[in-house]
Amino acid sequence: MTSDSRYATYPSLRDAVVLVSGGASGLGAEFVRQFAAQGARVGFVDVAVEAGEALVEAVAGDGHPRPLFRRCDVRDLDAYRGVIAEIAAELGDIRVLVNNAGHDERHSVATVEPKYWDELMRVNLDHQFFAAQAVAPAMRAARHGSIINMGSISAHVDLLDLPAYMTAKAGIEGLTRSLSREFGPDGVRVNCVLPGWIMTPRQLENWVTPEADAHRSAAQALPQRLEPADVARLVLWLAADDSRSCTGQHWVVDGGWMHS
Ligand SMILES: NC(=O)c1ccc[n+]([C@@H]2O[C@H](COP(=O)([O-])OP(=O)(O)OC[C@H]3O[C@@H](n4cnc5c(N)ncnc54)[C@H](O)[C@@H]3O)[C@@H](O)[C@H]2O)c1
């Protein structure tokens, strides 16, 4: 649901250059679709080549600007820096960065080894800092930019078997606060989005059992299932100039699960 006339169109996103990490599937793919439907020039990175290439064709086939896909493992920070530079050279200076790539693999406290812990920080946290560092100079020079970091309500609600993931997600909120102060004087905004449980294909396949879904429904004030498009519309608003005075915050889209 990308060009639904019930929802907003943002003139400030037309022709804006947007970078999405982990954009080939799940929430990231919906961000790619919705930014392209706004007329933005979207670059995205992912390790899932087939899904990435299929998404490019689907978006272009819908008549939207053709996104630029580059295979990149965001854990390889040097490679990622290089790819960010390539995307900017091809599309123009990046005005919106959506730090979205992540992995919520379950892990019990007793089994976590230092290498695994490190791995989860690399896939969920480290790249968000280094991507922001890479795009910031051009945003600051233009005095215009929006960085959106994907956190999670899991850093605020009681869940088991995700200690490293939840630590990384909590760290993203501190990162958001810190970068918003650093970049704010130059007109660059940094916000964090905390999704609740969103029904991406991977969640539906791996984790959505009738019992878990009943728990979700009871925990939320709005019992409905949340879709990737619900998160994408918040991300669009944070990227657009409509939110020009909002920075350093976390924004929750969880159907009313988390209590702040
Ligand atoms: N779906 C949810 O319920 C939910 C809830 C809270 C937060 N989030 C957050 O939203 C973001 C997206 O989640 P999702 O549910 O769409 O996940 P997903 O697993 O469906 O998609 C993640 C994408 O990132 C890519 N990716 C994974 N590791 C990568 C790497 N090393 N380099 C490059 N790409 C990589 C994957 O290939 C995939 O395309 C994550 O940051 C996640 O923590 C999701």
152-174 confidence digits (pLDDT tens): 999 999 888 999 999 999 999 99
The residues pairing with 99 across neighbouring beta strands, listed in sequence order, are: 149
Is 1 a residue whose pLDDT tops 50?
no
Average pLDDT of 185-213?
97
pLDDT for 5: 85
Q: If 0-12 CB within 10 Å is exposed, 13-18 middle and 19+ buried, where does residue 138 land?
A: middle
Total domains present in the chain = 1
β-bridge pairing 145-150 and 188-195? parallel
* Token pair belonging to 242: 């409509």
CA distance 176 to 38: 25
- Provide, rounded to the nearest whole percent, the portion of the chain with pLDDT above 70: 98
CB 62 within 8 A of CB 37: yes
**Does the annotation mark 165 as catalytic?**
yes
Is 92 a residue whose pLDDT tops 80?
yes
- State the residue range of the domain holding 223: 12-253
- Provide, rounded to the nearest whole percent, the portion of the chain with pLDDT above 90: 96
Average pLDDT of 194-211?
96
Catalytic residue (choose from 7, 10, 116, 165): 165
- CA 72 to each of CA 22, 44, 54, 101: distance values in angstroms, whole numbers, following the listed order: 9, 9, 16, 11
Task: Annotate 181-221 with DSSP letters as a single string.
Answer: HHHGGGTEEEEEEEE-SB--HHHHHHT--HHHHHHHHHHSS
Q: Could you read off the pLDDT of 106-161 as tens digits, one per residue?
A: 999 999 999 999 999 999 999 999 999 999 999 999 999 999 999 999 999 988 89
In this structure, what CATH number is given to the domain that contains residue 237? 3.40.50.720
Q: Does residue 1 sit within a domain?
A: no
Average pLDDT of 179-193?
98
Q: Which residue is closest in CA terms to ligand 1's atom 44?
A: 195
Listed residue (193, 102, 101) closest to 147, CA to CA:
193
Q: Does residue 123 sit within a domain?
A: yes
Q: Does residue 6 sit within a domain?
A: no
Atom index in ligand 1 nearest the CA of residue 226 equals: 3
Q: Could you read off the pLDDT of 23-78 as tens digits, one per residue?
A: 999 999 999 999 999 999 999 999 999 999 999 999 999 999 999 999 999 999 99
Q: Does residue 119 sit within a domain?
A: yes
Average pLDDT of 80-109?
97
Residue 171 Cβ inside 6 Å of ligand 1? The answer reads no
- CA 159 to each of CA 60, 207, 222, 254, 258: distance values in angstroms, whole numbers, following the listed order: 39, 13, 20, 15, 12
